[in-house]
């Protein structure tokens, strides 16, 4: 919304939320989320044509187009618990819009929703003695965190789904007109509303599937002395497959991938498509396996005991350039390491506050330290969880000097210079590449 306001000064954009603290932060110098470039965009538009408010009713009444971006988390109760999307916030919002509106509105589904939600929304909006005309459009968001502003400025595509009725097509054209202020027409894709809703789930499922595919192969590489980076390069040079999203890792995190795949799986099962559901569920299973495998690798390479050992996690966010920790592999890994009775030290340039909340039940068993040098001092092992660029530039000789020996590095993102670390003295365990260890030196040379 900030970017729409920034790009289109002639539209007035009002963002409303029930949470007064969050709105106060959006109106302050310290925004409630860290996102590169966002501060500048908000500062340029705020007070001009971008406003943040808790007056939801006024926001509804005074707007012609309403983007509904409430959260649709995985349901935690009843039928579909752990799989289906929880639509209660969406439905409440639809009812509120219907009850407050005193003129026709275009309702835009921005939240990620199961296919066919628009139909339910239309039914709610037009139930009872409603006085107005509502057109529901689907306009899923494809931005990724950490690159949100450039993704919004130069999107691969903007997807707009509408009913194929005169009213639906007219509403669609109004939304197209907004994006056409900065997005080339050829990148604005219009489809049926059902295709649009489904495409968002499928896009995330395909992206996550690419990561799980390479992560599954990383396990095989570790058994066979193949190098997953070389395999990924060879595979990715096939233009039919593409070279993006082939970085083996500790597993994908973030608020979208797991939730959306489970939602897709639930939809498939609902329609009796068990084979299709099983196929996509495998993507989530491999992701869980990859996180657990990382812990087991640490355990088995550190002589099958982590009890009393001090381990530093470099990074806690689910990816670099964000403070977001939702579904971060760091959460599972931290819990497992504490279960193994390791002493944990967490460091991250942006995510420590969220990490404390995620692990608040483990208070007293984990230290949170901003400075990576102080965090790794006295540790037996370092595990790289987030691919922050700053970690590449750390002085690893200094870090090695301050650590307990033998010193281990488990690079869960393959971002460090493994040969160099090995030369410094570390025992190095990348993902999907041969380990570099010093253990067999006495028996005749380094074990590479
Ligand atoms: C994702 C989609 O990319 C975006 O289109 C959608 O709108 C929301 O969900 P996001 O979750 O912000 O965006 O981040 P993304 O860059 O997709 O990364 C997701 C996870 O996959 C991160 O944990 C990341 O570290 C991991 N990842 C990504 C890998 O492990 N390997 C890769 O090659 C790429």
- Mean pLDDT by runs of 10 across the 448 residues of the chain is 97 97 97 94 98 97 95 89 88 92 94 84 82 90 95 98 96 98 98 95 97 98 96 98 97 95 95 98 98 98 98 98 96 98 97 97 96 98 98 98 98 98 98 94 46
- Ligand 1 centroid distance, CA of 317 (Å): 12
Mutate to test the pocket of ligand 1, among 200, 251, 252, 350 (most ligand atoms within 8 A of CB): 252
| Tokens read off for 426 | 């570390």
Measured N-to-C along each axis, helices 193-224 and 117-125 cross at an angle, to the nearest 10 degrees, of 150
| Tokens read off for 199 | 């495409």
User: Considering 8, 100, 221, 256, which one is annotated as catalytic?
Assistant: 256
Handedness of CA 387, 388, 389, 393 (dihedral sign): negative
Residue 447's pLDDT is what? Answer: 47
Let me know: does 325 contact 317? Beta carbons within 8 Å: yes
Give, in degrees to the nearest 5, the angle at Cα 202 between 201 and 206: 125
Partners of 85 in the beta sheet?
74
Residue 446's pLDDT is what? Answer: 47
Residue 442's pLDDT is what? Answer: 45
Distance CA 268, CA 277 (A): 5
Q: Are strands 50-53 and 366-368 parallel, antiparallel or unpaired?
A: unpaired
CB neighbourhood size of 341 (10 A): 12
- CATH superfamily to which 302-430 belongs: NAD(P)-binding Rossmann-like Domain (3.40.50.720)
| Tokens read off for 363 | 């208070």
235 lines ligand 1 (CB under 6 A): no
H or E element that contains 259: helix 257-270
For the chain, the C-alpha Rg in angstroms (whole number) is 24
Q: How far apart are the first and last CA of the chain?
A: 52
22 labelled ligand-binding? yes
Residue 73's pLDDT is what? Answer: 87
Smallest CA-to-CA distance from 411 within 432, 396, 380 is with 432
Instruction: Annotate 20-52 with three-state secondary structure.
Output: HHHHHHHCCCCCCCCCCCHHHHHHHHECCCEEE
Q: Is 49 exposed, middle or buried (0-12, 13-18, 19+ CB in 10 A)?
A: middle
Residue 445's pLDDT is what? Answer: 41
H or E element that contains 213: helix 193-224
Residue 274's pLDDT is what? Answer: 98
Let me know: does 189 contact 155? Beta carbons within 8 Å: no
Partners of 162 in the beta sheet?
192
pTM of the full predicted structure? 0.93
Q: Determine which residue's CA is closest to atom 1 belonging to ligand 1.
A: 144
**Domain range summary for the chain, segments of one domain joined by +:** 1-54, 302-430
**Which DSSP category does 328 fall into?**
-
- Ligand 1 centroid distance, CA of 160 (Å): 22
Mutate to test the pocket of ligand 1, among 319, 333, 430 (most ligand atoms within 8 A of CB): 319
Phi, psi torsion values for 27, nearest 5 degrees: -90, 5
Let me know: does 76 contact 84? Beta carbons within 8 Å: no
- Ligand 1 centroid distance, CA of 162 (Å): 27
């Amino acid at each position: 919304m900030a970017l729409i306001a920034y790009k289109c000064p002639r539209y007035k954009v009002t963002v409303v939320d029930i949470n007064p603290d969050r709105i106060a932060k959006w109106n302050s110098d310290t925004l409630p989320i860290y996102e590169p470039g966002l501060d500048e965009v908000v500062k340029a538009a705020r007070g001009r044509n971008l406003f943040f408010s808790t007056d939801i009713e006024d926001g509804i009444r005074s707007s012609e187009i309403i983007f509904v971006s409430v959260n649709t988390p995985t349901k935690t109760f009843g039928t579909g618990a752990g799989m289906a999307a929880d639509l209660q916030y969406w439905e409440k919002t639809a009812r509120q819009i219907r009850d407050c509106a005193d003129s026709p509105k275009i309702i835009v589904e921005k939240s990620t929703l199961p296919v066919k939600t628009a139909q339910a929304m239309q039914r709610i909006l037009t139930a009872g003695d409603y006085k107005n005309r509502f057109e529901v459009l689907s306009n899923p968001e494809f931005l990724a965190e950490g690159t949100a502003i450039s993704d919004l400025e130069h999107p691969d595509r903007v997807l707009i789904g509408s009913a194929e009725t005169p009213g639906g097509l007219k509403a669609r054209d109004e939304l197209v007109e907004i994006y056409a202020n900065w997005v080339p027409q050829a990148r604005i894709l219009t489809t049926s509303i059902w295709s649009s809703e489904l495409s968002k789930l499928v896009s995330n499922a395909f992206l996550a599937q690419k990561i799980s595919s390479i992560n599954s192969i990383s396990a095989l590489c570790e058994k066979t002395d193949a190098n997953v980076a070389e395999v990924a390069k060879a595979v990715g040079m096939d233009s039919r497959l593409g070279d993006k999203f082939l970085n083996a890792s500790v597993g994908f995190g973030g608020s979208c991938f797991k939730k959306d795949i489970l939602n897709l799986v639930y939809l498939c099962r609902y329609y009796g498509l068990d084979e299709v559901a099983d196929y996509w569920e495998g993507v989530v299973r491999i992701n869980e396996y990859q996180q657990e495998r990382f812990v087991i690798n640490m355990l088995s390479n550190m002589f099958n005991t982590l009890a009393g050992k001090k381990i530093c996690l470099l990074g806690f966010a689910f990816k670099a350039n964000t403070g977001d920790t939702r579904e971060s592999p760091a959460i599972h890994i931290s819990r497992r390491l504490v279960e193994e009775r390791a002493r944990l030290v967490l460091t991250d340039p942006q995510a420590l506050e969220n990490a404390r909340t995620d692990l608040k039940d483990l208070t007293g068993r984990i230290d949170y330290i901003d400075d990576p040098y102080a965090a790794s001092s006295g540790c037996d092992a370092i595990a790289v969880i987030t691919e922050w660029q700053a970690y590449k530039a750390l002085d690893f000789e200094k870090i090695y000097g301050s650590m307990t020996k033998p010193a281990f590095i488990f690079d869960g993102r393959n971002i460090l210079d493994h040969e160099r670390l090995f030369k410094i003295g570390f025992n190095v365990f990348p993902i999907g590449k041969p380990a570099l260890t010093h253990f067999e030196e006495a028996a005749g040379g380094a074990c590479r």
